[in-house]
Structure 1
Amino acid sequence: MYFLYNLIVICASAILKVLALVNSKLALFVNGRKKTISLIKKSISKEDKVIWIHAASLGEYEQGLPIIEQLKIYHPSHKIILTFFSPSGYEVKKNSKIADVICYLPMDTKRNVNAFFSAAHPDIAIFIKYEIWPNYLSALKKASTPTFLISALFKEDQIYFKWYGGFMRKALNNFSHFFVQNEKSKTLLGSMGHTNVTIAGDTRFDRVNEIVERNNELEFMTRFKDGKFCLVAGSTWPEDEKLIIEYINKTTYSIKFVIAPHTIKDNHIQEIIQSINKKVIRYTDLEHNNLEDCEVLIIDTIGLLTKIYSYADMAYVGGGFATGLHNTLEPAVFGIPVIIGPKYDGFAEVEELIDLKGVISIENTNEFTEVTNHSFTNDDLRVKTGHVNTAYIKNKSGATDRIMSVLNSVIG
C-alpha cells in the first residue's frame, strides 16, 4: 500500500507542477515548496533543539497559535518551525515573527521527507486537527520523535473508519498522543484500539478569549460608529452581500454597517459600493471623508476584522451561502448576536450555539431583516443573546493548559 500511496503522491506532484503554469494559486503552492529546505537551513543549525508544528491552513494555525505562544514562553531555548500545506495559510503568515522558520511542507514523498528531516531534525512534532501524512509520520516514529495531534476531531465518515481505510488507520499508530475535542472522537479512536487519548477541547476557544483581552481600539471605528448601532458583516461572499445590501438600501433604522468582504479585489469592492444607495466609504479612502456622516464602511484590506468586531452590536459571518462558513467565534466572544447563512453542517460549535440561540441561521433577506430589526429594537433580547455566546466560549476554554501540561513534561 505504501508503494501505491507514494506513486499517487508523486503523480499528484507532477500534475500540480503542470497546472501551476496556468493557475496562480497553484503556482504559489508549487514554487513556495522549492524554498522550504533553504529557509530551514538558513535558520536551523545541527545543534539547535527544534519544535516542529504543522498546520494545513489559516484555520488550523489559529488553533495552534495558543500552543505556539506558550511553547515560546516555557521553552525559549528551542527553535520553532511552522509549516503550512495551503497557500491561504502560508501567504498570510509567512512574515510573522511567531516562529523561527515559516515555510510550506514539502509533498509527502520519501525523498522530500528525508530532505526535510535532514534540515529540520525536530525533537518534537505537533500536528493540528486533521493533518495526517503517512511518510512524515513514519519517519517521526522511526526517529522516536514524540508526535502529537492536537485539537483533533474524528467523525464516522472519515477514511479511518471505512473498510478501505486501513492504510490511513495504520498511519495513526505513529502518534504518541491524541488531544481530541470531544468524547465522540475519543470513542472513535478507542474503537481502533487507541488508549493514548485525552479530551482536551478546542484551542480556538482560548485563542478568541485572548482576542478580548488585548487592546482592540481602532480610532477610525470609534469615529465611524459615533455611538450608533453597528452591524459588522465579516468574510462575506457575493451571496451574503446581496441580502445585506438589500437590507441596507431598504432600512430606515439608524444603523452603521461595516462590510469586510472575503474578496478585496478592486473591481469587487467597486461593485459593492455602486450597489449601495447610502453614503459609503472604503477603508483605503478614510482620510478624504468625514466618517461620522458615512453609513456604510467597506474594509478593503486584511488584518482588521477581529478588532472591528469589538465595535459591533451584532455580526453577520459570511460563507454560509457559499463555499463554507467562516469563523463565528471571533465575533461571538464579544458578547453579541451572530447571524449566519444556512450551511453550517460540520461546525460543532455553530450547531451548539444555534441550539442555545446565540447564533441565528437565516435563509433569505426577509429572515435577515427580521433578526436584525429585532436586535435593533430589543436591547434586552440582543444582550441576552450575546451573553449566551460569551458564556459558551468561557465554558469551552482551557484546552491550551491541558495540552501544555503534557507537552512541558515531554520537552523537559
Structure 2
Amino acid sequence: MSLLLYNLFLFIYQIALQLAAFFNPKARLWVSGRKNWAESLKSAMGDKKTPLVWMHCASLGEFEQGRPLLEFIRSHYPNYRILVSFFSPSGYEIRKNYAGADIVCYLPLDGAKTAKKFIDLVQPDLVLWVRYEFWYHYLSQLRARNIPVLLISGLFRGTEPFFRWYGKLHRYMIRCFTMAFVQNSDSADQLAKIGYTTVIVSGDTRYDRVSAIAAQFEPLPAIEKFVTGHLVLVAGSTWPEDEEELDHFANTHPDIRFIIAPHEIGEAHLKEIENLFKSNIRYSKWVNTEPANHDLANPPNVLIIDNIGMLSRLYHYATIAYIGGGFGEDGLHNILEAAVYGVPVVHGPVYGKFPEAIALIEEGGSFAVDNALMLEEECTGLFKKGETYQKAAAAAAAFVQKRKGATATITRYIQANRLLTI
C-alpha cells in the first residue's frame, strides 16, 4: 500500500465513523472520545517534566497483554509517568480509570500532523506497542526522533501485508521498532524473510498476566452460593452464535449450573439471552436478593453476568469452561484465563489464527466442537470427571505454567539496554 492510499484510507475511515456515530453507540464513543483531544491531553500532561512511558493498545485484550510490563515499570521505575492509549472504545471505557497509569486516553486517528502533535505533547522516553495495529505516521515520528519503540507479544503470519508484494509501507513500519518481541519462532521466521532480524522470541505476556490473576484470586460469595453442589459450565465472552449453541444443553440439564458472561452486555443483548435460556437470573438481581428469598424449589440454573470485570475470576468455579468467539468471525477470546485454573476448555471450530488454541488442543487441554450436538456430547463426557477430564485439566494447568516468562525476557532487555533509568 502506498502512502497516498494509506492517507486516503484514513480519510475515508474517519468519515465513515462520523456517519456511523449517528446510529452506532461504539462509533459514537469513538468520535466523541477524540473531540478536543489535544486540549485534554495537554491538560492531563500538566507542567511536569518527569520522564514518561507510553503504552499503546488496540483494545482491552491488548491492554491485559501489556499490563504485566506496566506493573513492572510502576514498581521498579516509580519516577516515570505512564500513559496508556487505546484505539477502541471497548478498551478505553473499561480501563479509563486504571490506577496503574497516570494518563489514559484515546489515540487520535493517525495522520502526519496529528502524530506530530501527539508526540510533541507526550514526549515519551519509551514506547510499548502491544501486539498489533500499526500506524504509519506515529511510528515514523518515533523513528525520526530516535525514541525506542518495543513491539510486545507480536504475532505474524505469512498472509499479512508485511509479506506481500504490496506491503512496502508495512515493511517500513516494522523497521520502526527498536526490537520486536514475538510470541513464537514462526513469527521470527516470517520477519527474517523480509530481512527484519531485530527480533527476540519472548513468548506471550498473557501467560504471565493470567498467572498473576489466578495467584491473586479473591472469592465471589454470590457465585459460590449459585454453584455449590453442582457441576458448572462457565461460558465466557460469548456472542449470539455461542449462546445459540448452548441454550438446548442448558435448558435440558437443570441440574447443571451455567454461568453466561457475554462479550456485549447491552440491554438488548441481555434480553435476547434471557429469551434463549428458560431458567435464568441476572447477576445484578441474584447478588441483591436475600438468600431467604431465593426460589429453592425451582432455582435458576443459568446465571447471566451483566457486568464487566468478573470473568477471569468466574473460571475458578468452572468444571468446564466454554470460550466464545469460535462460532463467528469475531475471533476466539482468551482461553488462557480459564486454562490457568486447570479447567478443560471447549470452544467453536474457528480458531486457526490463535496459536495458543491450536497448541492447547494438541496438548489435550481443550476441545473444538462444530455444532451444538458435539458441544453437548463433549461436555457430557467431561462432566463425568473420568480419565479424559483429569488429563485435560492437568494439561490445561501445565500449558500455562510452562509458558510463563515473556515479561521477564522483555524487562531484562529494557534493563540491559538502559532504556529506563532509576
TM-score by length of 2: 0.92
Which residue does 2:127 correspond to in 1? Answer: 125
Which residue does 1:407 correspond to in 2? Answer: 414
Q: Given that residues 316 and 340 in structure 1 are in contact (C-alpha distance below 8 angstroms), is that contact kept between their aligned partners in structure 2?
A: yes
Q: 1:271 to 1:163 in 2, by over 3 A?
A: closer
Deviation (angstroms), 1:7: 4.0
Which residue does 2:26 correspond to in 1? Answer: 25
Deviation (angstroms), 1:54: 0.5
Which residue does 1:305 correspond to in 2? Answer: 311
Structure 1 residue ranges without an equivalent (≥5): none
Which residue does 2:362 correspond to in 1? Answer: 355
Q: Which SS does the other structure have where 2:83 is aligned?
A: strand
Which residue does 1:378 correspond to in 2? Answer: 385
Deviation (angstroms), 1:379: 3.7
Q: Given that residues 244 and 276 in structure 2 are in contact (C-alpha distance below 8 angstroms), is that contact kept between their aligned partners in structure 1?
A: no
Which residue does 2:244 correspond to in 1? Answer: 242
Pick which of 258-267 and 333-342 moved more: 258-267
Which residue does 1:217 correspond to in 2? Answer: 219
Q: Which SS does the other structure have where 1:310 is aligned?
A: helix
Pick which of 110-119 and 7-16 moved more: 7-16
Whole-angstrom CA distance in 2 between matches of 1:53 and 1:145: 13
Which residue does 1:276 correspond to in 2? Answer: 277
Q: Given that residues 204 and 406 in structure 2 are in contact (C-alpha distance below 8 angstroms), is that contact kept between their aligned partners in structure 1?
A: yes
Q: Which SS does the other structure have where 2:234 is aligned?
A: strand
Which residue does 2:109 correspond to in 1? Answer: 107
Q: Which amino acid aligns with 2:369?
A: I
RMSD of aligned C-alpha atoms?
Answer: 1.8
Name which of 318, 326, 329 aligns with 1:320.
326
Any idea what the Cα deviations from partners look like across 1:11-52, whole Å, max 9, x if unmatched?
A: 432443333334332221122122432333223235121111
Q: Which SS does the other structure have where 1:69 is aligned?
A: helix
Which residue does 1:13 correspond to in 2? Answer: 14
Deviation (angstroms), 1:87: 1.3
Q: Given that residues 335 and 383 in structure 1 are in contact (C-alpha distance below 8 angstroms), is that contact kept between their aligned partners in structure 2?
A: no
Whole-angstrom CA distance in 2 between matches of 1:246 and 1:391: 32
Deviation (angstroms), 1:263: 2.8
Any idea what the Cα deviations from partners look like across 1:331-366, whole Å, max 9, x if unmatched?
A: 111101111011111010001111222111111222
Deviation (angstroms), 1:407: 1.6
Deviation (angstroms), 1:177: 0.8
Q: 1:367 to 1:175 in 2, by over 3 A?
A: same
Whole-angstrom CA distance in 2 between matches of 1:298 and 1:245: 12
Counterparts of 1:148-227 in structure 2, within 5 Å, are 148-227=150-229
Q: Which SS does the other structure have where 2:322 is aligned?
A: strand
Any idea what the Cα deviations from partners look like across 1:98-157, whole Å, max 9, x if unmatched?
A: 211111111111111121012101111111111321111111111111111110111111
Deviation (angstroms), 1:404: 0.7
The percentage of aligned residue pairs carrying the same residue is: 39
Q: 1:264 to 1:159 in 2, by over 3 A?
A: same
Deviation (angstroms), 1:247: 0.9
Which residue does 2:350 correspond to in 1? Answer: 343
Whole-angstrom CA distance in 2 between matches of 1:247 and 1:309: 19
Q: Which amino acid aligns with 1:332?
A: A
Whole-angstrom CA distance in 2 between matches of 1:22 and 1:219: 39
Q: Which SS does the other structure have where 1:402 is aligned?
A: helix
Which residue does 2:78 correspond to in 1? Answer: 76
Matched, 1:260 2:261: yes
Q: Given that residues 336 and 383 in structure 1 are in contact (C-alpha distance below 8 angstroms), is that contact kept between their aligned partners in structure 2?
A: no
Structure 2 residue ranges without an equivalent (≥5): none
Whole-angstrom CA distance in 1 between matches of 2:16 and 2:120: 26
Q: Which SS does the other structure have where 2:33 is aligned?
A: helix
